[in-house]
Chain A
């Protein structure tokens, strides 16, 4: 038997960027290969689910699971890997707080299917065929995973030991996590691997007292290179976003969009952003305030819940039926 540890990587509802991010640690990947046997990594290594099912419980030393839980298959794999792994890390924003797939919680399964299998202009589906979990064919029964109404984060499905935030996580933090495992210096369970403060803490820009007369979208302004982007009216989520990325975006003049998720102890990222920005709008006139918000923030959900829709206090809008029409709550 090898003395190496066993490493598993898997993805749920995600774009695949996290898989590539693992390679962002560059040549250190060789050290990973020295330290671990990769027992399961469908995107890169051939392996069977059956072989994982046959492994003893807790025989995988580390599982990096990226992606949210949208289907029954993803849930099954999450439960299986949880059972087989000593340490399981929610890797990346989708696993941590739902990320872009979580925005589907703005609508429901029926509306998604209606759009994907009927409404899109490129769809030709005269018989209105929809995916079925079981289909009988001559050779037997074909199965597909069940598509849930609601996207869940990984920790809404299984117990998670650590969180590695980011869309995708920065290579330095991935390496931090791997070293922690390799050297057996594990932080307390439940730790989010990052700082306990927000992006502003590491952002080099000069900040003033905040009074915002007008919100600007990125294409409307060439920002001053030294001043805080939010002070210039650009919605920068750095104020509410956990530090750990090194403030990469605001440093180069692009506002933080919040991929590292909320700060330590915060339940609802979007609510924090909204109450913060609402507090510093520089007007006492309700009509003017309405105008500032409507003109400057055309898409509040996309601006403030881009990564955390499935994670915060909201989690989803009330279930709707048909195509975007409100219906009875489930």
Chain B
């Protein structure tokens, strides 16, 4: 049974035709390759006219296979598969050869590019002849969604979904939702109060009938696949019974133990051993920090229990586990702040009046430890001059090569707040000012007018070693002012370090747990950097906010909403098609050696102890091929990537060695002579 293959060579305007003689490739394929019934070149194969060309040829010429030499299959494989389907051919009987990404864009020699194109087309033709018809399977989508992380991105996602009538489980590992935004005082560039815009959202989440809020909880395990995930959550013991607690706060008031609050107050303020991170916390229930609680330390006290009017304190409470079935997952796990002690020359932790940006947010915050007064570490002295150091741990190959995206704007906001609250002189040491979004450049202009000083240069050192008169008792910020080409030493009272945004320290573990990929640093990887920014390579798992990369509040909110929209689409359709390009273990070949068991990046392989064979859950399988390559018995085969198909493609690529009919080149055989 010989196939009838149609070959289509795309010019892609001049993208391909500029470097590859496309007419020659089409002519050559038609004349030289076996089983090629039609071979054409066309200006834009992805245009509707180009697609119709394929459809018509399938109908009129009886094509049984289609090869398109165009761009990367990442871009248009779907397009051409659809064209085949419209022509009445199973979409998997189509193969693309990437003449643009793999040849024309990366070549400088037209003759050799044309020859290479012939090889790629030959490979695709030999391969496509062995393609098999494949059918996607359909599975139902559970309408419930798990949102992990309840910062502003996660809150937005949860509310969008809940408002659309879908149930959401919102998980947050801290005692309250709100994330970093809850710590901020004002937001740039509008200078509206962060709490004023965030807390209504938080209480909405707390009250929403479609949202199950699971604070102080962490995801322990995720199994399943798109539409049908199963998550196991650990709800950490609060030692406060949520059914009975009214949130009156008497327990907090009566608790005798005061500790430094390293988390919410960034180490600047205190909290009790039983605490709520901040007054507007959602949920309102406090939590006992067992490491500081006197009862947990010494076995006596129980002041909170004595005074609680509703007997809600329960020292015997244990962690509980909650099992959830959800169809989709949104990860909005946020960021952490770069630890500036890694740059000792900036003096953080050594020089009292060097602050991190997060500490300064708390200083400014009316609900913060100083009730909004900008003062030095002594708690009383207002600074007369303040230096703001940009790019601390950002744009620095030693730590993070990336730009943290928000620090320029935060620095402007800080400058404004310092001047407004203290009248101090403010010096901003920047590398480049990047006010790139709506209203940001205007805000920069405003600060220029307000008299903030801008010095272009990365800070070399912050020191208290005075060298000149006027430097005594001050912090001296040394930098090269690259606009005037001179070293500057600026004595100030206070230094604010604009620490980089970094992936959460456990981002990699989280990525592994949810089966998604992340960058070397730990930022979660989107499916496509431009066209699919909130999906991941794992179907049904979406990402939103700063876990994907540094971004400001509006962008985080937009991503949260976008992820929710993607989930809604899945829930509305109600079923999802699973790619048939998956691996299969052939039981009769499998010896149950268990080599493959730990290899699957999607946890799709289980061991059936009864049958003593390994089994692939095809709904979880992404067809990556790891197990196929590793199986020592070759008991695993990959649909659409069979050995036969791959070897045929190789043989086609090497047509000039093997001959176009796949026959091997003759090998030297010495004459056989009798003894």
Contact = CB atoms under 8 A, between A and B. Distances in A.
Interface of A: 49, 72-73, 75-76, 79, 133, 143-146, 148, 196-201, 207-211, 230, 238-240, 243, 262-267, 272-273, 275-276, 278-280, 330
B588 to A, nearest CB: 6
A76 B594 CA distance: 45
A240 B632 contact: yes
Contact of A266 (B594, B634, B673): B634
Contact of A198 (B598, B630, B633, B670): B633
Contacts of A144: 675
Contacts of A143: 675
On chain B, which size bracket covers the interface?
Answer: 20 to 34
Contacts of B626: 279
Interface string B587-600: 01111111111110
Nearest to A243: B591
Contacts of A230: 593
Contact of B591 (A198, A211, A278): A198
Contact of B668 (A133, A238, A279, A330): A330
Contacts of A146: 670, 673
Nearest to B594: A207
A144 B673 CA distance: 10
Contacts of A196: 588-589
Contacts of A73: 674-675
Nearest to A77: B675
B594 A198 contact: no
A266 B670 contact: no
A326 to B, nearest CB: 20
Interface of B: 588-599, 607, 612, 626, 629-635, 643, 668, 670-675
Contacts of B634: 262-266, 272
Contacts of A238: 591, 593
Given A146-B670, A239-B595, A279-B596, 6 more contacts: A72-B673, A143-B675, A198-B593, A209-B607, A238-B593, A239-B591
**When A and B form their complex, which 6 residue pairs have the shortest distance between CB atoms, in order from nearest?**
A240-B632, A201-B591, A200-B591, A279-B630, A276-B632, A73-B675
B591 A280 contact: no
Contacts of A239: 591, 593, 595, 632-633
Given A146-B673, A148-B670, A275 B630 contact: yes
25 contacts: A72-B672, A144-B675, A196-B588, A198-B632, A200-B592, A209-B594, A210-B593, A230-B593, A238-B591, A239-B591, A240-B632, A240-B633, A263-B589, A263-B632, A263-B634, A263-B635, A266-B633, A272-B632, A276-B595, A276-B632, A278-B630, A279-B630, A280-B598, A280-B630, A330-B668
B442 to A, nearest CB: 48
Contacts of B589: 196-197, 263-265
Given A199-B591, A263-B589, A279-B595, A76 B632 contact: no
Contacts of A79: 672
Nearest to A75: B672
A198 B596 CA distance: 15
Contacts of A262: 634
A243 B630 CA distance: 19
Contact of A280 (B599, B629, B668, B675): B599
A239 to B, nearest CB: 4
Contacts of A279: 595-596, 599, 626, 629-630
A265 B643 CA distance: 10
Contacts of B670: 72, 146, 148
